[in-house]
């Protein structure tokens, strides 16, 4: 048997059809069944394993051709079935005349032989011509990964591998959230930790909303090792920009290194900042304004008509508040009154890009 391109499912279905066809012909040859053209019949894997591993409606399909009750036909056919040396170990007649076949040891060992002999075992072309972009993990680059991110890596890469093995054109993508409020918070946290190295914590207290982790202190020290006190008296925004430019690539490299430890590599590392720098976020907001999906509020903010669409498409028009109560869904802010886009706006631009 050729195990290089072995498909155990197809092998079972093909052999079942051959066995049933030969048995029916043998029954006609000895007169158990009258001579007739074999009808079209189904050989399939039943949904319920109680109905065998492979089931066929040959007896029912042949009732008109053989002028017999389906169960009589099934008995005549199964009497001629020789399962010796085949993939099957047993057969039964069920209901009005279904013929159910049960796989034997030979089929299970054939699967193992094929898997051992063929490094490409299980690969198919079922997904040929279809493309998938699997975006997974996408941990916040303002700090190291946590266990939830690690789990997401295994799940995402496993899904991508299955799609690839099934013949799909798969792209693995990591979406780096290197823009928005979390980067502002990251820069502020780093800058204050840097200033604390020279002015002390009392002079430069770290606000509660900032990142409190030891990794922030370490990145601030690394920046100080290179630049010394050159930024102590610099404009705070200038300091934030410089220290983020130093720390962020290190954090991203750390994510790449940690994912690589369990053999996860990406085809694309997509930067959210590119959406802003290229004008893609503004472009998609403008497009939504043109189509009427958004509107400008009195304070100048640009709002997405989420409440209207929730009602239109039957989505629950209520949402949970922080205290656990429910309130009516409200339109979402895409661009704040100060002109700064929200994370939601960047998300829409990212999906539009895909």
DSSP 195-232: HHHHH-TTTSPPPTTS---HHHHHHHHHHHHHHTTTTT
- Rounded Cα gap, residues 162 and 305, in angstroms: 38
Please, are residues 80 and 91 in contact by the beta-carbon 8 Å criterion? no
**What pLDDT score does 276 carry?**
94
For residues 161-189, average pLDDT: 95
Asked whether residue 2 carries a pLDDT value surpassing 90, the answer given is no
Asked whether residue 328 carries a pLDDT value surpassing 80, the answer given is no
Asked whether residue 327 carries a pLDDT value surpassing 80, the answer given is no
Asked whether residue 210 carries a pLDDT value surpassing 80, the answer given is yes
Alpha-helix runs per DSSP H in the chain: 8-29, 58-61, 63-66, 70-79, 105-117, 147-165, 181-199, 214-227, 236-260, 272-277, 280-291, 306-312, 343-353
For residues 292-314, average pLDDT: 90
Asked whether residue 310 carries a pLDDT value surpassing 90, the answer given is no
Please, what sign has the CA dihedral across residues 194, 195, 199, 203? Answer: negative
**What pLDDT score does 322 carry?**
63
Q: Which two tokens stand for residue 352?
A: 């539009």
CA 38 to chain centre: 45
**What pLDDT score does 7 carry?**
85
**What pLDDT score does 6 carry?**
81
**What pLDDT score does 320 carry?**
63
Quick check: helix, strand or coil at residue 235? coil
Q: Which residue has the higher pLDDT, 122 or 345?
A: 345
Q: What is the pLDDT of residues 49-99, one digit of tens each?
A: 888 999 999 999 999 999 999 999 999 999 999 999 999 999 999 999 999
Superfamily covering domain 123-276: HUPs (3.40.50.620)
Q: What is the CA radius of gyration of the chain?
A: 33
Q: Which residue has the higher pLDDT, 117 or 176?
A: 176
User: Percentage of residues in the chain with pLDDT exceeding 70?
Assistant: 95
Instruction: Give residue limits of the domains in the chain.
Output: 8-108, 123-276, 278-353
Give the Å distances, CA to CA, from 312 to 64, 202, 293, 309, 339.
53, 54, 13, 5, 29
**What pLDDT score does 168 carry?**
97
- Rounded Cα gap, residues 236 and 221, in angstroms: 17
Q: Which two tokens stand for residue 200?
A: 């002390």
Whole-prediction pTM = 0.70
Question: 8-108, which class in CATH?
Answer: alpha beta
For residues 274-298, average pLDDT: 96
**What pLDDT score does 181 carry?**
87
**What pLDDT score does 170 carry?**
98
Helix axes 181-199, 236-260, angle to 10 degrees: 110
For residues 263-283, average pLDDT: 96
For residues 211-236, average pLDDT: 97
Give the Å distances, CA to CA, from 66 to 17, 75, 263, 322.
18, 13, 61, 72
Asked whether residue 260 carries a pLDDT value surpassing 90, the answer given is yes
For residues 154-177, average pLDDT: 97
Mean pLDDT over each residue of the chain, to the nearest integer: 93
Q: Which residue has the higher pLDDT, 126 or 157?
A: 157
Nearest to 83 by CA among 107, 59, 66: 107
**What pLDDT score does 288 carry?**
96
For residues 256-285, average pLDDT: 96
Asked whether residue 231 carries a pLDDT value surpassing 90, the answer given is yes
CA atoms within 13 A on the CB side of 28: 15
**What pLDDT score does 287 carry?**
97
């Amino acid at each position: 048997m050729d195990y290089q391109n072995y498909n155990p499912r197809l092998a079972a279905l093909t052999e079942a059809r051959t066995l049933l066809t030969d048995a029916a012909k043998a029954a006609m040859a000895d007169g158990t069944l009258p001579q007739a053209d074999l009808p079209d019949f189904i050989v399939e894997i039943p949904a319920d394993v109680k109905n065998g591993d492979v089931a066929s409606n040959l007896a029912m399909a042949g009732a008109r051709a053989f002028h017999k009750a389906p169960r009589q036909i099934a008995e005549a056919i199964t009497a001629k079935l020789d399962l010796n040396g085949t993939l099957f170990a047993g057969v039964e007649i069920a209901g009005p005349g279904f013929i159910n076949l049960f796989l034997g040891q030979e089929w299970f060992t054939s699967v193992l032989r094929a898997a051992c002999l063929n490094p490409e075992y299980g690969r198919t072309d079922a997904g040929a011509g279809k493309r998938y972009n699997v975006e997974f993990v996408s941990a916040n680059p303002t700090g190291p990964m946590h266990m939830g991110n690690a789990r997401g890596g295994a799940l995402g890469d496993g899904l991508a591998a299955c799609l690839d093995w099934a013949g799909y054109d798969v792209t693995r993508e990591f979406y780096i959230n290197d823009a928005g409020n979390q980067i502002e918070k990251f820069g502020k946290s780093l800058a204050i930790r840097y200033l604390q190295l020279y002015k002390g914590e009392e002079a430069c207290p770290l606000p509660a909303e900032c990142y409190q982790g030891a990794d922030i202190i370490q990145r601030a020290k690394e920046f100080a090792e290179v630049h010394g006190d050159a930024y102590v008296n610099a404009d705070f925004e200038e300091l934030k920009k410089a220290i983020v430019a130093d720390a962020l690539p290190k954090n991203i490299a750390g994510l790449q290194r940690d994912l690589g430890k369990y053999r996860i590599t990406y085809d694309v590392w997509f930067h959210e900042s590119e959406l802003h720098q290229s004008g893609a976020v503004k472009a998609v907001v403008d497009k939504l304004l043109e189509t009427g999906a958004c509107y400008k509020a009195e304070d100048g903010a640009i709002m997405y008509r989420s409440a209207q669409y929730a009602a239109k498409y039957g989505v629950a028009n209520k949402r949970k508040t922080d205290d656990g109560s429910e309130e009516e869904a409200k339109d979402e802010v895409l661009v704040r009154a100060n002109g700064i886009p929200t994370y939601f706006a960047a998300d829409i631009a990212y999906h539009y890009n895909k």
